[in-house]
A and B are shown apart, each in its own frame.
Chain A
Amino acid sequence: MTQVNYKAPTTTKEASRLMAKAKGSAFLLAGGTDLLVRMKSGLIDPDLIVDIKRIPATQSIKKNDGKYVIGAGVPCVALGKNKGLVKAWPGVVEAANLIGSDQIQGRCTMVGNLCNASPAADSVPALVAARAKAVIVGPKGRRTIPVEKVVTGPGTTSLKKGEVIESIKLPERGARSADAYLRFIPRTEMDIAVCSAGVNLTLGAKGIIKQARVALGAVAPTVILVPAAARALVGKQLDDAVLAKVAAACEIACAPIDDKRGTVEFRTEVAGVLARRAATIAYQRAGGKL
């Protein structure tokens, strides 16, 4: 193992500068629940680790003009303790709080979950369904992109050298809006999603769905948005016929792999079931009656 140079800058700009000028292998450290495991198993041998947790902007959950901004270093446990956030975005919070044990919750972050770029990342489908954006600081300044543009494949992201995600931004939350996230694992907790679904809805008068976003996890190389499932929801009150269309649209969108966690057939069918159930939960949370 080479000697690791550990840096803990206090601004995102400085973190970006350190990453940009790094010569060898350089890694950002948020919660470390993936990074330290990869170091331990010898998958990576960093020359430089840049810890972002001393940067104040990464450490807080703020609400500006009705929009939540969640710092990249905020551990997932803190999301569940923020009552306003839980009320506005129950699906995002339940997804983030499903990751690992209490010990892991105390460290793991949504931005780490995103940048680790696993197709099975729990918080990502919920963030994509929520229209979340990633605030990026890089050598050329700041830019904000939709979360679904960050991950490009298993283990790879669109971030350029020197780019650091500082925070996640959630859009303003109107009335009669809610989200939900469900995943399938073969036990009750502490496992990696076999497949998963995040649904985000806004209702209008008489429980008619005005806006919908449906995202699936672990059924493709990246988390996927399913516009066809959203189209099946918009303009309707939720009933069995609509839910059947949602499930069918999700099944068509699935392109999973066979592995020890599940077969292609199993993942495809269960993704549809989870989307249907998550839509039902989100609908009820938004005040819709079934």
Chain B
Amino acid sequence: MSGVHVSTTVNGDAVEFVCPGGESLLDVLRNRLGLTGAKEGCGTGDCGACSVTLDGQLVCSCLVLGAEVEGREVNTVEGMAEGNRLHPLQRQFLDNAALQCGICTPGFLVAAKALLDENPNPTETEIRYALAGNLCRCTGYDKIVRAVDAAAKDLRREAKRKARQKSK
């Protein structure tokens, strides 16, 4: 057997796969694990359509080898919704029409989540800088930035409500 055997965690589930040593994590996710949310735009780390998190760190999955994720934690856009309940970012992308063709959307969602996990109250400039690694050729970005800002508000409200419930 010439492949590499890898045990890892994807969206909280234990996953095993065998892949050639030179295969990208993006190809593993799409072709071996059936997770086609991450897209190949450029394949060279310029467009961000393949964004996932690796041990919580935002990365381009086209620039990670599948073999590298042994024992790590991978999170993709497929892990964002809870069952049928969309993540606030996903809801706000829909409400704000922050997508047209949709190829870049999973990458934007993952990158925006990584931003809000670290900075729950970003300024517009911070949102634009944080999403600079994601290219969109349809929207002109404004609607995406507005959707992220609105989702950040939703998440802050949710966090406040949870805190209040806890104190009761």
Using a CB–CB distance below 8 Å, which chain A residues touch chain B?
1, 3-6, 8, 29, 31-33, 36-37, 39-41, 46, 49, 51, 53, 75, 77, 100-104, 106-107, 189-190
Chain B residues 1-56 with CB under 8 Å of chain A are 2, 4, 20-22, 24, 43-45, 48, 51, 54
Pick the residue among B4, B48, B62, B65 that contacts A101 (CB under 8 A): B48
CB-based contact A6/B65 at 8 Å: yes
Chain A residues lying within 8 Å of B48, measured Cβ to Cβ, are 101, 103
Chain A residues lying within 8 Å of B81, measured Cβ to Cβ, are none
Chain A residues lying within 8 Å of B60, measured Cβ to Cβ, are 103-104, 107
User: What CA separation (Å) do A103 and B46 show in the bound complex?
Assistant: 9
Chain B residues lying within 8 Å of A8, measured Cβ to Cβ, are 67-68, 70
CB-based contact B133/A32 at 8 Å: no
Can you name the residue of chain A whose Cβ is closest to the Cβ of B133? A101
Chain A residues lying within 8 Å of B43, measured Cβ to Cβ, are 40
Can you name the residue of chain B whose Cβ is closest to the Cβ of A49? B21
A3 with B20, Cβ < 8 A, contacts A37-B45, A101-B48, A103-B48 known: yes
Chain B residues lying within 8 Å of A33, measured Cβ to Cβ, are 45, 63
CB-based contact B22/A46 at 8 Å: yes
Chain B residues lying within 8 Å of A4, measured Cβ to Cβ, are 20-22
CB-based contact B67/A103 at 8 Å: no
A103 with B45, Cβ < 8 A, contacts A49-B65, A189-B129 known: yes
Q: Smallest CB–CB gap between A285 and chain B, Å?
A: 23
Q: List 19 A-B contacts (CB under 8 A).
A: A1-B22, A3-B20, A4-B20, A4-B21, A5-B21, A33-B63, A40-B43, A51-B67, A101-B48, A101-B132, A101-B134, A102-B133, A103-B48, A104-B45, A104-B63, A107-B63, A107-B64, A189-B132, A190-B132
User: What CA separation (Å) do A41 and B45 show in the bound complex?
Assistant: 12
The number of residue pairs between A and B whose CB atoms lie closer than 8 Å in the complex comes to 89
User: What CA separation (Å) do A208 and B128 show in the bound complex?
Assistant: 41
A103 with B59, Cβ < 8 A, contacts A29-B65, A32-B64 known: yes
User: What CA separation (Å) do A40 and B26 show in the bound complex?
Assistant: 13
CB-based contact B59/A106 at 8 Å: yes
CB-based contact A41/B63 at 8 Å: no
Chain A residues lying within 8 Å of B70, measured Cβ to Cβ, are 8
Chain B residues lying within 8 Å of A36, measured Cβ to Cβ, are 24, 45, 62-65
CB-based contact B68/A51 at 8 Å: yes
Chain B residues lying within 8 Å of A53, measured Cβ to Cβ, are 68
CB-based contact B22/A39 at 8 Å: yes
Chain B residues 103-127 with CB under 8 Å of chain A are 111, 114-115
User: What CA separation (Å) do A46 and B134 show in the bound complex?
Assistant: 29
CB-based contact A3/B58 at 8 Å: no
User: What CA separation (Å) do A102 and B130 show in the bound complex?
Assistant: 7
Can you name the residue of chain B whose Cβ is closest to the Cβ of A101? B133
Binary A-proximity of B126-164 (CB < 8 A = 1, otherwise 0): 000110111000000000000000000000000000000
